[in-house]
């Protein structure tokens, strides 16, 4: 009788529970309430409301999973995980404001401007973006300066005009306009893809991966970044608001171009699965040398594509 | 006949003209229009409108003057100068929005949301903040990693909840409320002082100043940061909109606490001069070792306190 060649103990539920505990603890400790100087005049409350107690933490989990795959510095990874989540959280706060999507429900709760007023929501978003870069630049020995600088560079590029903000500008300009498939891809590559891919690459950048490993992870990040948006578009028409924790059917109501409106529902579902296969194939390349633990990255890609909300 | 002991060739006009040329050229080249990938969908236009062709560039000049005083890395200083100006510019864009100060005039031109719409203004501000951190983290050899990381840390802290954004939150919460002198000082220390002081300290951080020099520059930055706001409050009641390039008398109209409303006009003017003297005294300490060229820092402090707009 042969023993199984490899006994896989990994389950996403166990791994996620462990990582989420680290993430939530760090966010709770670090967001706008250092012991010596909490954020003034209600700003800290708005910042914490925007970040804590909600969200799937997909981006932070990707950071930690990618760091694990390259055996990177766990301090740098935890800071990066929190930093990308702050950028994501700030973008939601600003996106929900009346001059943008004018949304009142987010993660099943009133949006930040509904709860704290528009001015405070604007400031809280601004302060969260700055805080992301504070997280990446601790004034101690846990993360070396070269890594700090590299992580800041990656996050700034992913968040800025050549990343998330640029994608949102295209989104804004494209309401009610017919987009080609190429234009829709470009919009989402920037709007959601850039930060998801940066999550993977920042996690990898907490170690010192070889160039082939970097390229494999870049391709993985690109595939899941796109898949995430395709699935989002699918869920917007197939799920209800209670399941989503946000207003369903809103893309169609706002006449926004989506993968579903462009390709149809069935083709969109097939495309999501194709992107999942592409992401997993990238990890095969990465695992070819036998050194990298990609269990978490694999499971996250699968979860992301096959999620129900 | 004795020759003059020291022939001072420095004039602020000459020095500023030279530095402003560097700053404007760099901003014009770097803001949202790299040759290979300009900002999409009108976002670049809004970002450039917010930054270019306006503004006294006081913060960038402070960065360059402080760097000069410590013989720091000019590449790092120019990047820092532009980065602090982007943070300043983004804060004005967001401040002017209807949910904040609802101002339609800035530097004699329509504000960004008037010209480009509120959503684009929100995004442009967000993208400018991210771009500031891109400026600080060039992927080349001009600025070493330790300096990049340090500059990011300083700017993030000055912009965030313990700096500018925190001060704005206090400002927001204090409209129509009586503030004590201590509370008013705290608000302005954060709202405008933090970024002005950071400009000085980031410039200094482009070199390797001794601890006493750092402390002297910190005190200088603190004094001029406060003086700037005192003078702003004075000008709000003594100058007209055309001279200011923004709406005059608006603090009183909005019932905002100011140094003038708290201390009266004459005492405010005396206080501004006292702060100028304090700033210059800090530079005396710095010059005591005879190594540091503080001409530009001195002239900027004088200009800042005695300006008419």
SS (H, E, C) chain B: CCCCCCCCCCCHHHHHHHHHHHHHHHHHHHCCCCCCCCCCCCHHHHHHHHHCCCCCCHHHHHHHHHHHHCCCCHHHHHHHHHHHHHHHHHHHHHHHCCCCCCCCEECCEECHHHHHCHHHHHHHHHHHHHHHHHHCCCCCCCCCHHHHHHHHHHHHHHHCCCCHHHHHHHHHHHCCCCCCHHHHHHHHHHHHHHHHHHHHHHHHHCCCCCHHHHHHHHHHHHHHHHHHHHHHHHHHHHCCHHHHCCCCCHHHHCCCCCHHHHHCHHHHHHHHHHHHHHHHHHHHHHHCCCCCCCHHHHHHHHHHHHCCC
Closest alpha carbon to B203 in B83, B290, B121, B56: B83
Backbone torsions φ then ψ of A246, nearest 5 degrees: -150, 175
**pLDDT score at A242:** 63
Q: CA-to-CA distance for A129 and A127, rounded, in angstroms? A: 5
- Read off the pLDDT band of B233 (50, 70, 90): very high
SS3 A162: coil
Q: Are β-strands B105-106 and B109-110 bridged in parallel, bridged antiparallel, or unpaired?
A: antiparallel
Whether residue A2 has pLDDT greater than 80: no
Rounded-to-10 torsion of CA A203, A209, A215, A221: -10
Smallest Cβ distance to A165: which of B37, B130, B161? Answer: B130
Give the residue-averaged pLDDT of A187-200.
96
DSSP state of A26: H
Look at A188-202, B65-79, B236-250, B295-309 and tell me which has the smallest mean pLDDT. Answer: B236-250
Give the residue-averaged pLDDT of A283-294.
82
Give the residue-averaged pLDDT of A126-154.
97
Min Cα separation A303/chain B (Å) = 30
Smallest Cβ distance to A165: which of B123, B133, B165? Answer: B123
Min Cα separation B201/chain A (Å) = 16
B110 forms beta bridges with B105
B105 forms beta bridges with B110
A42 touches chain B (CB under 8 A): yes
- Read off the pLDDT band of A265 (50, 70, 90): very high
> Chain B, 127-156: which have a CB under 8 Å from a chain A CB?
127, 129-134, 136-137, 139, 145-146, 148-150, 152-153, 155-156
Across chain A, mean pLDDT equals 91
Whether residue B189 has pLDDT greater than 90: yes
Min Cα separation B195/chain A (Å) = 13
Q: Report chain A residues whose CB lies below 8 A from the CB of B155.
A: 133
Whether residue A251 has pLDDT greater than 80: no
Closest alpha carbon to A23 in A87, A91, A62, A78: A78
Whether residue B86 has pLDDT greater than 90: yes
Closest alpha carbon to B197 in B225, B170, B175, B174: B225
Contact B202, B154 (CB under 8 A): yes
A183 touches chain B (CB under 8 A): no
Q: CA-to-CA distance for A163 and A186, rounded, in angstroms? A: 10
Contact B126 A125 (CB under 8 A): yes
Would you state the structure tokens that stand for residue A43, as one six-digit string?
């700003």
Half-sphere exposure of B139 (CA within 13 A, CB side): 8
CATH architecture of A41-306: Orthogonal Bundle (1.10)
**pLDDT score at A253:** 66
Give the residue-averaged pLDDT of B264-283.
96
Whether residue A296 has pLDDT greater than 90: yes
The CATH number fitting domain B12-304, selected from 1.20.1600.10, 1.10.10.10, 3.40.630.30, 1.10.600.10? 1.10.600.10
A172 touches chain B (CB under 8 A): yes
Backbone torsions φ then ψ of B28, nearest 5 degrees: -65, -35
**pLDDT score at B1:** 45
Whether residue A17 has pLDDT greater than 80: yes
The domain locations on chain A are 41-306
Closest alpha carbon to B132 in A129, A87, A191, A121: A129
Residue showing tokens 């999942």: A276
Min Cα separation A166/chain B (Å) = 6
A109 forms beta bridges with A106
A33 touches chain B (CB under 8 A): no
Inter-axis angle of helices B43-51 and B118-135, nearest 10: 70
């Amino acid at each position: 009788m042969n023993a199984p060649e490899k006994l896989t103990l990994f389950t996403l539920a166990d791994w996620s529970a462990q990582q989420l505990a680290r993430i939530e603890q760090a966010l709770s400790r670090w967001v706008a309430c250092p012991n010596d100087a909490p954020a003034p005049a209600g700003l800290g409350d708005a910042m914490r409301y925007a970040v804590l107690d909600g969200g799937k933490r997909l981006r932070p989990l990707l950071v930690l999973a990618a760091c694990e795959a390259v055996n990177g510095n766990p301090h740098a990874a935890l800071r990066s995980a929190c930093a990308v989540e702050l950028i994501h959280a700030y973008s939601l706060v600003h996106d929900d404001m009346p001059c943008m999507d004018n949304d009142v429900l987010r993660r099943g709760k009133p949006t930040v401007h509904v709860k704290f007023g528009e001015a405070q929501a604007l400031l809280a978003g601004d302060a969260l973006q700055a805080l992301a870069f504070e997280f990446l630049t601790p004034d101690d020995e846990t993360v070396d300066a070269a890594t700090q600088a590299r992580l800041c560079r990656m996050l700034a590029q992913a968040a800025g005009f050549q990343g998330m903000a640029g994608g949102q500008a295209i989104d804004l300009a494209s309401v009610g306009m017919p987009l080609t498939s190429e234009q829709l891809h470009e919009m989402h590559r920037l709007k959601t893809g850039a930060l998801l891919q940066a999550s993977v690459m920042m996690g990898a950048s907490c170690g010192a991966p070889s160039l082939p490993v970097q390229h494999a992870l870049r391709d993985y990040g690109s595939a899941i970044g796109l898949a995430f948006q395709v699935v989002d578009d699918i869920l917007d028409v197939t799920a209800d608001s209670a399941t989503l924790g946000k207003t369903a059917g809103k893309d169609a109501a706002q006449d926004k171009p989506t993968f579903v409106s462009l390709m149809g529902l069935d083709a969109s579902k097939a495309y999501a699965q194709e992107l999942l296969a592409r992401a997993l194939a990238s990890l095969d390349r990465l695992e070819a040398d036998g050194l990298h633990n990609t269990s978490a990255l694999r499971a996250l890609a699968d979860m992301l594509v096959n999620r129900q909300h």
